[in-house]
Amino acid sequence: MTTETITLADRPGALAGALEAILLKSADDGRPMLVASLAVDYAAPAAPGATLSLDAEVDRATRSLVFVRALAKLDGGAVAATASAVLRVVGA
């Protein structure tokens, strides 16, 4: 499992971008990967400047695909968003 604490930037898509980054980081096993599919479900408002805890882990990995999921929580413990992705291994 990969965990990070971030302060949300003041720009559109900041939370989605942070979730994509941690999903890729959690799947990093040395093979180059590209995002084939990304789904983000928002559960609670996260204003710019909010501190969030991001957790991500690999659900399953094959020779050519890696399935990962992530959770973003606000300081108080409320879930701000969940995300899942399918990553394609380049050249596999």
Domain count, the chain: 1
How would residue 92 be classed by pLDDT, with cut points 50, 70 and 90? confident
pLDDT digits (tens, 9 = 90+) for 33-79: 999 999 999 999 988 899 999 999 999 999 999 999 999 999 999 99
pTM above 0.85, yes or no: yes
Range(s) of the domain holding residue 18: 2-89
User: Looking at the DSSP assignment, which residues form a beta bridge with residue 38?
Assistant: 85
pLDDT digits (tens, 9 = 90+) for 5-29: 999 988 879 999 999 999 999 999 9
Place of tokens 């991500």: 56
CATH number of domain containing 69: 3.10.129.10
Decide if 8 contacts 53 (C-beta within 8 A). Answer: no
Decide if 47 contacts 8 (C-beta within 8 A). Answer: yes
57: Cα separation from own chain's centroid:
9
